[in-house]
Amino acid sequence: MPKILTVVGARPQFVKAAALSRALNNYLMEEVLVHTGQHFDENMAEIFFRQMEIPEPKYNLGIHSLSHGAMTGRMLEAIEKVILVENPSVVVVFGDTNSTLAGALAASKLHIPVAHVEAGLRSFNMKMPEEVNRILTDRISDYLFVPTETAERNLLNEGFGKFDVQIENTGDVMYDVALFYSRISAERSVVFKVLPKDKPLILSTLHRQENTDNSNKLKSILEALNELAAEYRIVLPLHPRTKKILEQQKIKLNFDPIEPVGYFDMVELLKNCSFVITDSGGLQKEAYFFKKQCLVIRDETEWTELVGLGYNHIVGSEKQRILEKAGAIKNTHLDFKEKPYGDGNAAEKIAALLKEI
C-alpha cells in the first residue's frame, strides 16, 4: 500500500485536503500530512483543521511572513528533509501556492513521484505568482488531476500529451467538500449569532497582491463596497495582510469588516448572501457551488467556464464597473444546472488512482 505525503499551507488547501484525507482513509492508505505554515493565523489555519476534522499534521514547518523567494526556498529545504525521513511513494500537492511549488520541487529532485491536484488551471497572466507556481508544478508532476475539461485542454495545448505524465479528469475536490459539509454547516456555524440579517448580504474577500499592493486598485474596490453598503450588509472577512494595509493607509470603511471565519461560517455566508465579490480563486467556485453569482475583482480568472456560463463576471478593480455589474445582476435568477466540476466524487477517484501507484 503506498504511503502518501501531502503538503498543505493555505486555507484552500486545508479544505481540499479534508476531502482527500477522508478518501485515503477509506482505502486504508497511510497519509503523512505536512503543514508548511504559510497560513499561520488561528482563524486562517488551525480552525480549519479542527472544524473539518483533518488529521493533525505530523509536521508543521512554521514558515511564513517572508518574501516569495525566501519562503519557497525555506519550504523546499524543510520539505526535502521530511521526504528523506518518510520516504513516501508519492507527494501530493494542491493548487498554486508557494507551498505547492516547494513540495513539488522537493519531491521531483529526490525522484519521488508528484501528484498535482487541481492541475491545468491557467489565468494566462504571468505576473501572478500563482500562475508561475501552477505552471512549474504541472511541468514537474507525474500525475495531473485536472478538475475540468478546460484544464485538461490547457495541458494538451501546452504539449503535455507528449510528456511521460498521467492526466486524469477527476472533477473538483472542492465540489466534494461543498456537498459534504453543506449538510452540517448550519448546526456548526456561529457567524449569524453575531451578524444581523437586517439587509441583504454581499460576501466579499480581498487579499491578492495585485489588488492590495496597488493603492489605486485597493481604494477603488473599497469605494465600491462602501457605496454598496448603503443597500447591502457587506460581509468582508478581513485577511490579516489586508487589514494591516488598510491600517497603514488609513482607509475608512462604511461597514465593519469581520475577522477571518472558519469553513462552516463561510458556507453559511454563501448560502445566505445575495452574491459574491472576490479576488479569491476558491471562492469564485464556491459561489457557483451554492448557486450565487460572483463579481471577480481581477482582470482574468482561472475558472473561465464560469464566465462562459454567465455565472461569474470579471469586473476588475474599477469602481464604476463593479457598481454597474452589481446593479445588473441584482434581480437576476439563474438555474445553475450545468456541472463543469464533476459529480462530487473527485477525491474518491484520486484516492483510487493513488492506490495503484
11 pLDDT higher than 90 = no
The predicted-structure confidence for 36-71, as pLDDT tens digits, reads as follows 998 665 455 566 667 777 778 999 999 988 899 999
CATH architecture of 185-329: 3-Layer(aba) Sandwich (3.40)
Radius of gyration of the chain (CA): 20
Q: Is 207 a catalytic residue?
A: yes
Give me the sign of the Cα torsion angle 285, 351, 54, 178: positive
> Which residues of the chain are in CATH 3.40.50.2000 domains?
3-172+342-355, 185-329
**Which residues are CB-contacts of 101 (< 8 A; sequence separation ≥ 6)?**
72, 132, 133, 136, 137
Number of H helices, E strands in the chain: 17, 12
CA 267 from centre of chain = 14
The x, y and z cell numbers of residue 52, run together, are 473539518
**Mean pLDDT for the chain overall:** 93
User: 35, 64, 116, 207: which one is catalytic?
Assistant: 207
pLDDT of residue 50: 75
pLDDT digits (tens, 9 = 90+) for 166-201: 999 999 999 999 999 999 999 999 999 989 888 999
**Residues 266, 193: contact at Cβ < 8 Å?**
no
Query: What's residue 331's pLDDT?
Result: 85
- Convert the pLDDT of each residue in 317-356 to its tens digit: 999 999 999 999 998 999 999 999 999 999 999 999 999 9
Ranges 45-49, 57-61, 154-158, 281-285, most confident = 154-158
Domain 3-172+342-355 has CATH 3.40.50.2000: yes
Whether residue 144 has pLDDT greater than 80: yes
- The confidence score (pLDDT) of residue 222 equals 97
Please give the single-letter amino acid code of residue 208.
Answer: R
Instruction: Take residue 8 and report the three cell numbers written for it.
Output: 498543505
Secondary structure E strands in 258-336: 273-278, 294-296, 312-314
How many beta carbons lie within 10 A of that of residue 357, not counting itself? 15
Q: Report d(CA 276, CA 202) in Å as an integer.
A: 6
pLDDT higher than threshold 90 for residue 94:
yes
